[in-house]
Structure 1
Amino acid sequence: MKRLTLGALLAYFLDPQSGRRRRNMTRDRGLAFFRRALRRSERAGRGVAAEAYGVTKKLTHLKEEEKPQPDDVTLTRKVETEIFRDSDVPKGQINVNAEYGKVVLRGEVDRPELIKALEERARKVQGVQDVENLLRLPTAPSSGDR
Structure 2
Amino acid sequence: MSEKRGLRKFVFGGVLGTLGALFFDPQQGRRRRKELADRAAALFRRTGDRAERAGRGVGARVYGMAQQAQHLKEEPKDFDDVTLARKVESEIFRDADAPKGQVDVNVQDGVVQLRGEVPDQDMLDDLVEKTRRVQGVRDVESLLHLPGTPAPMHE
For the superposition of Structure 1 and Structure 2, which TM-score range results when normalised by the shorter chain?
A: 0.5 to 0.7
How many residues align? The count is 134
- What SS is found at the alignment partner of 1:105? strand
The one of 73, 76, 81 aligned to 2:82: 73
**Contact 2:76–2:136, Cα closer than 8 Å, also in 1:** no
- What SS is found at the alignment partner of 2:101? helix
The amino acid that maps onto 2:146 is L
Task: Provide the alpha-carbon RMSD of the alignment.
Answer: 4.3
- What SS is found at the alignment partner of 1:127? coil
Query: Is the alpha carbon distance of 1:63 and 1:132 closer, same or farther for their aligned partners in structure 2, counting shifts above 3 Å?
Result: closer
Pairing 1:2-13 to 2, within 5 Å after superposition: 2-7=12-17
| Deviation at residue 136 of structure 1 after TM alignment | 2.6
Match for residue 98 of structure 2?
89
The TM-score, its normalising length taken from structure 2, stands at 0.57
| Deviation at residue 10 of structure 1 after TM alignment | 8.4
Structure 1 unaligned spans of 5+: 12-30, 141-146
Match for residue 153 of structure 2?
none
Once residues 64 and 108 of structure 1 are traced to their aligned partners in structure 2, the CA distance between those partners, rounded to angstroms, is 33
Pairing 1:94-133 to 2, within 5 Å after superposition: 94-133=103-142
| Deviation at residue 78 of structure 1 after TM alignment | 1.5
Match for residue 46 of structure 1?
57
- What SS is found at the alignment partner of 1:92? coil
Query: Is the alpha carbon distance of 1:64 and 1:131 closer, same or farther for their aligned partners in structure 2, counting shifts above 3 Å?
Result: closer
Structure 2 unaligned spans of 5+: 1-8, 22-41, 150-155
The amino acid that maps onto 1:55 is A
The TM-score, its normalising length taken from structure 1, stands at 0.60
Once residues 109 and 16 of structure 2 are traced to their aligned partners in structure 1, the CA distance between those partners, rounded to angstroms, is 89
Query: Is the alpha carbon distance of 1:64 and 1:126 closer, same or farther for their aligned partners in structure 2, counting shifts above 3 Å?
Result: closer
Once residues 59 and 112 of structure 2 are traced to their aligned partners in structure 1, the CA distance between those partners, rounded to angstroms, is 45
- What SS is found at the alignment partner of 2:132? helix
